[in-house]
Amino acid sequence: MSSPVRSLLERFFKFKQNDGRIWLIDELRGLSIILMVLHHAAYDAVYMFGADLPVESVVVYILHVIFAALFVLISGASCRFSRSNLKRGALCFVCGMVITLVTGVVMPRSIVVFGILHLLGICMMLFALLQPALDKLSPPVGTAIFGVLSVLTFRVDRGFFGIPWLWEVRLPAALYSTEFLFPFGFPSENFFSGDYFPLLPWLFVFITGAYIGIYLKERRCPKFFFDLHSKPLALIGQNTLIIYMLHQPVIYALLYVFFKFILK
């Protein structure tokens, strides 16, 4: 392996050891990104190569929501440890736009118009701008308010506001008749994104995580949060951005070889 490639890999995948680190956060982030990659692989196998997998099942949907919410919560909590959420957010959003460009050219049927990186980038920048106002609320109050808002807006992208499947009101159809409100959670019937995380409800989930992050930063959490349980998961959790940036082309290449040559 050439020296430049080796140094690049070492830079991105060097294990960052720190006794004060909250290892459980890295491990949960690592688990979430692994499951997200597996979900995308199954999705691509079904919709791009015709595989017969239960990607639309209720169980898969529930697991996807749980681990997506966990990933966004952790990202919100991590904002409490950042020196500049504005810069991190801008970088994350630019990476999201790179994903849009690459998928639009290479995999137009799976183009990612507003995915997790677009969402997190905007959330980080908004948090940087709104933090003085948000910090006027105590952590319990902020967690409760934005947690409730997360639930109430959970099905906004499906046209509903309220407690999912229990008490809901249908939102005005006019909100979904334009082509430019999709970032907020109001997609038109013609909208498509291979990975879609609108601001509603996910911005509220992110801010909920930011309030939880106060407890983490002040180390007001159980001891097992600080214990290292799985070095591989922690390593993956420390490199989620580069993994997310690379996983789709790698998955597509592997699936292409498998379905076009191995199963030929």
Residue 172 inside a domain? The answer is yes
Residue 14 lies in a domain: no
Asked if the structure places residue 48 within a domain, the reply is: yes
Query: Is 42 domain-assigned?
Result: yes
Q: What is the pLDDT of residue 222?
A: 86
Q: Among the ranges 23-27, 99-103, 117-121, 225-229, which has the highest mean pLDDT value?
A: 117-121
Q: Taking the model in full, what pTM does it have?
A: 0.89
Q: Residue 201 is part of which domain span?
A: 21-262
Buried b (16+ CB within 10 A) or exposed e, 174-210: eebeeeebbbebbbeeebebbbbbbbbbbbbbbbbbb
pLDDT score for 208? 98
Provide the pLDDT confidence category of residue 14 given band limits of 50, 70 and 90.
low
Confidence check: pLDDT of 199 > 90: yes
Span of 56-70, 175-189, 194-208 with lowest mean pLDDT: 56-70
Cβ contacts of 79 within 8 Å, gap of 6 or more: 85, 124, 127, 209, 210, 213
In a domain, 190, yes or no: yes
Indicate if the pLDDT at residue 4 is higher than 70: no
Per-residue pLDDT reduced to its tens digit, 59-91: 888 988 999 999 999 999 999 999 999 999 999
Range 96-100 average pLDDT = 94
Q: How many domains does the chain have?
A: 1
The pLDDT of residue 157 is above 90: yes
The pLDDT of residue 7: 57
Question: For residue 159, is it within any domain?
Answer: yes
Q: Residue 204: its pLDDT value, please?
A: 98
Say yes or no to pLDDT of 10 above 60: no
Average pLDDT over residues 116-131: 97
Sequence-distant (6+) residues with CB within 8 A of 111 are 100, 103, 104, 192, 193, 194
| Counts of helices then strands in the chain (DSSP H, E) | 9, 2
Is 80 contained in some domain?
A: yes
Mean pLDDT of the chain: 90
